[in-house]
Amino acid sequence: MKRIGVLTSGGDAPGMNACIRAIVLTAEHFGIEVVGFKHGYYGVLNSEHKELTPERVSNIIQSGGTILHSARCLEFKSDISGAKAANCLDALGIEALLVIGGDGSFRGAHHLGNFWNKPIIGLPGTIDNDIVGTDATIGYFTAIETALESIDKIRDTADAFERIFLIEVMGRHAGFIGLSSAISSGSDQVLLPEINSDNQIALSNIVRRIETTREVKGKCSYIIVVAENLWPGGVTALASTLTEEMGIDCRPVVLGHVQRGGSPVAQDRLLATKLGAYAVECAMQGKTDIMVGEQNHQLVEVPLEQTWSGQKELDPYLVRIQTELFDIIG
């Protein structure tokens, strides 16, 4: 193998650069050239690329975002695009393609395999941690840390004014960031898609919990972490509803895309480095249509189709801690 390609696709995640660096350094060790495609699959279709050398990836391990930039390429779902991408890769002499991204990126990689018979390897890069087959995804740990730092700062203001705050965190349709940041910050309550399917019940529970807490403790702060897309209109609408229901001022905070940025924490740098190096070795062995991941500290290879075959489960014991063991109000 003489030449491989790499791209980053979908939402950016802290640690993508660390992964690119690991791929380039590992490939250099084996005498393999690396071509980086810019803007995800658009870079393949439009032949927008650059050579990646050890010098070009020097000092990027600590940088957030992705030096290859990213994009969501809806047109890549078509057979025409799949065939065009295969021709473009062959024209450049690419012998394997490594795709860093989430489930949408993996679906694109699997689709490409229908038109290109060379190794295609997926690497899980998404803050949502919603990829089946790996304990964690690149960027997840940093997103938790970013959310935690923000919640801690909001708690200071909440305590000072004895206010109720609702904090919306990312996660699309998965509650991993919400659960982890809520427990880590000592939040009073958390609303997640996996455990809150009925909004009316959730609303009644919130009101009951706040009123009971204030009966026991007196006027005090109260922090609720809410996963995005859970409540119609988001936390702004939920805060308004709660204010009307209880006659108590509730303040919404949307953390938004700040959770995607920042220097990756050590856990993400380590995971990205392991997966990047392992992906190159898997490609050299001719393996294809797989994702490389980590389970119980062991590197694993998972068929791409399995990575979106079901919903990844939250840690059941963390759920129990938040909803039962630490529920002193009952």
Task: Tally helices (H) and strands (E) across the chain.
Answer: 10, 11
> In this structure, are residues 14 and 66 in contact, taking their beta carbons and an 8 Å threshold?
no
> In this structure, are residues 119 and 95 in contact, taking their beta carbons and an 8 Å threshold?
yes
- DSSP per residue, 202-251: HHHHHHHHHHHHHHHH-S--EEEEEETTSSTTHHHHHHHHHHHHHSS-EE
Residue identified by tokens 């024209």 is 91
> In this structure, are residues 101 and 34 in contact, taking their beta carbons and an 8 Å threshold?
no
Q: What's the residue count for the chain?
A: 330
Which residues are CB-neighbours of 143 under 8 A, at least 6 positions away?
A: 13, 14, 127, 170, 177, 259, 260
Number of Cβ within a 10 Å radius of residue 173:
13
Question: Per the residue annotation, which of 12, 79, 90, 128 is the catalytic one?
Answer: 128
Alpha helices, DSSP H, located in the chain: 16-29, 41-45, 79-91, 103-112, 140-161, 176-185, 199-217, 234-246, 266-284, 316-320
Q: Is position 188 annotated as part of the catalytic site?
A: no
The residues carrying an active-site annotation are 128
